[in-house]
Structure 1
Amino acid sequence: MTSLPALIAATRPDGDGEFHALVPDNWLQGRTCYGGVSAALAVHAARQAHPDLPPLRSAQIAFVGPLAGAIALRPTLLRQGRNAAFVRVEIVGEAGLGLSATFVFMRERESVIVQEADPAPVAAPAPDDVVTGGLAEVAFTQNFRFRDHSPAEARPPRWLRWVRLDAREALHPEVELMAIGDALPPAALRLAPARVPLSSLTWQVDLLGAIPANESGWWLLHAAADQAGAGGSSQRMAIWDGAGRQVATQMQSVALFG
C-alpha cells in the first residue's frame, strides 16, 4: 500500500508548471481517486508552485470526472493581493479533466466581530480505545481508522465519526485536513434501503483560521443531509480537531444513482 505521505513525496514538478503523480489502487473510490486525496494533492501542488502563500481559508472543488493512474496537476495563480491569493488547480487524467479547484489563501487579521465555533460534541478516542478499520470493498478507507458515534435513527440523517490517517508523517496540516475531510459516506446513504451508487459533485470547505497542530491525529467529521431526491442530495458538514476545536465548515452536493 502507498501511504499519503509517500504519494505526496512522489509528486514531482516537470519544469513547465505542472506536477505529476500516480494514483495507486489503494486510494481509489470505485473507478476514481478518493476525492479527499485528489483535493489534498491539489493543495500540495498549489503550495509547491507558490511557497509564500498565506494560510488556506477556503476551497471550492468540483469533481468533474474520474481520476486514476497517471495524473497531471496544473496550478494557476489567479490573483495575489496584500492579504489574499486565489489559486486554481486542475487535475487531468487519462479520461480528461477530473478535478477543478479554486483555493483562497488569506492572512489572519484583527476583527471587531468575534463568534466562537461550537466545540466537538464527543471526545476523541483514547489511545487504547478499540477503533475500526476501513471497508474492504472501498479501497481508500483501508488508509484510515474510524470511531463511530452516529445515531442510528437520526433525522435529518447524519454521520458523526472520528477519523485518523494510518500514516501522516510530515504532512502539511492543510494537506492532511483535505485528505480527511471527505472521508464520510454521504449522509443521504442512511436513507437508502440498500447500498446505492453515489458520487460527490461539488465540495466547499471553509477553514475557521490557520489549522492548529493536531498531535493525536484524530479529526471528528459530521455530515447531515439537508435534502435528498431527484437524483441528488445536499449536505452540511463540519470538522473538529483532536482537542475539540472546530476547524472547518463544509457543504457538499452529491449525485444519487439509485
Structure 2
Amino acid sequence: MSVNNLIDPVTASGGPVTLQNAEGWMQGRTLYGGASALIAYMSAIRTFPDLPPFRAGQVGFVAPIGAEFEIHSEIVRQGRNVAQLRSEIRSGGQVALTAFWLFGTSREANAVHPAPYPQPDPGRPEDSLPTDTSRAPEFLKNNYDVHYTADRAKADVPIIRRWTRLKEPSGLDPVAELILMGDTLPPSAARIMQRPGPISSINWSFNLLDPQPTTRDGWWLAETASDHADQGYSSERLRLWNADGKQMLSGIQAVAIFG
C-alpha cells in the first residue's frame, strides 16, 4: 500500500474512511503510529487549507486503528498569528486517536539558538549498512530502508539511532513526510527490558524546528532515547535530523512496557 493510497481516502468533509490493503502499514493489530498521525494531519489541512506554517503536534494513541474508521477535524481557535486545530479518529464508535495541531506565522526572530548537530557523529547515510528488518513490524519492512549509523550504542544503553527513508518517494509535502517518519523506530527502552514482552506508544508530542524541512536523497537520522524507565513506562525522546545533521524535529513520547 503506497503512501498515496493511505491518505487519498481522507477528504475535506471527513466522515467514514476505508483503507485498501491497510495491512502494509500495520504494527500488530493497529496502524503504525506515524501513519495514523499522518492521516489525522491530512484531515486537518484538507479540511482547513488556508493555514499558517505547521509548528507542533500532540498525538494520543488511544486504541487500535484498523482499515475502517471515522475522522473529523475542527478549529479550536484561530488568532491573528496562530491557529490551533483538533483531529479525532474514531474506530468502532470509540475514540482511537486524538491529535492537537499548532500552526503559526513566522515572526522576526527575538531569540536564536540553533539545535546541536548529532553526537557522536553518525556518519553519512550513503556510507551506511542496512539493518535486518525481516522480523520487524509489517509497516517497517514493507515501506522503509533502515541503515545503521557509524556510531553504535552499547547493548545496555537505551538509545537507538538509525538512518531511515521511505523505499518509494512519497509525493508528500516535506512536513507531512516528517510526521510519517517521526515515530518510525521502536522505543529505546526495548534495549533494556529484563523480560520479553510487548511495548506500545501511548502518545507523541513534537515540535517542528524548520517549517520547510529538507534532506538529501530522502534520508533522515532518527533517534529514540529513554530518559527514564520504571513501573511499566518509559519517557522517550524522539529526534530527527536531516542527512546533513540539521535537526528538524524534537519530540517526547510515553511508552507502556508490558511483560
Aligned to 2:221: 220
For residue 21 of structure 1, report the CA deviation from its aligned partner: 4.0
Aligned to 1:210: 211
Counterpart of 1:50 (choices 24, 48, 55) is 48
Confirm or deny: 8 A CA contact 2:200 2:257 kept in the other structure.
yes
* TM-score (norm: length of structure 1): 0.91
For residue 95 of structure 1, report the CA deviation from its aligned partner: 6.1
Aligned to 2:166: 165
Aligned to 1:151: 153
Write the distance in 2 (CA, Å) between the matches of 1:245 and 1:22. 35
* TM-score (norm: length of structure 2): 0.91
State the one-letter code of the partner of 2:15.
E
1:179 and 2:177 matched:
no
Structure 1 SS opposite 2:19: strand
For residue 54 of structure 1, report the CA deviation from its aligned partner: 1.4
Q: 1:54 to 1:124 in 2, by over 3 A?
A: farther
Write the distance in 2 (CA, Å) between the matches of 1:229 and 1:216. 39
> Which deviates more from structure 2 when the two are superposed, residues 55-64 or residues 115-124?
115-124
Structure 1 SS opposite 2:191: helix
For residue 151 of structure 1, report the CA deviation from its aligned partner: 1.0
Write the distance in 1 (CA, Å) between the matches of 2:91 and 2:70. 6
Write the distance in 1 (CA, Å) between the matches of 2:93 and 2:129. 41
Runs of 4 or more off by more than 4 Å in structure 1?
none
Q: 1:248 to 1:25 in 2, by over 3 A?
A: same
Q: Deviations over 1:51-95 (max 9, x none)?
A: 111121111111110101112221111111111110100011236
In the alignment, structure 1 segments of 5+ residues that lack a partner are: none
State the one-letter code of the partner of 2:92.
E
Aligned to 1:257: 258
Confirm or deny: 8 A CA contact 1:67 1:94 kept in the other structure.
no
Q: Deviations over 1:133-172 (max 9, x none)?
A: 63445111121111123413364x1111111111233202
In the alignment, structure 2 segments of 5+ residues that lack a partner are: none
Aligned to 2:138: 139
Q: Deviations over 1:84-140 (max 9, x none)?
A: 1101000112362110000101112112211011123423311x7542363445111
CA RMSD of aligned residues (A): 1.9
Structure 2 SS opposite 1:12: coil
Share of identical aligned residues, percent? 36
1:6 and 2:8 matched:
no
Give the total of aligned pairs. Answer: 253
State the one-letter code of the partner of 1:165.
L
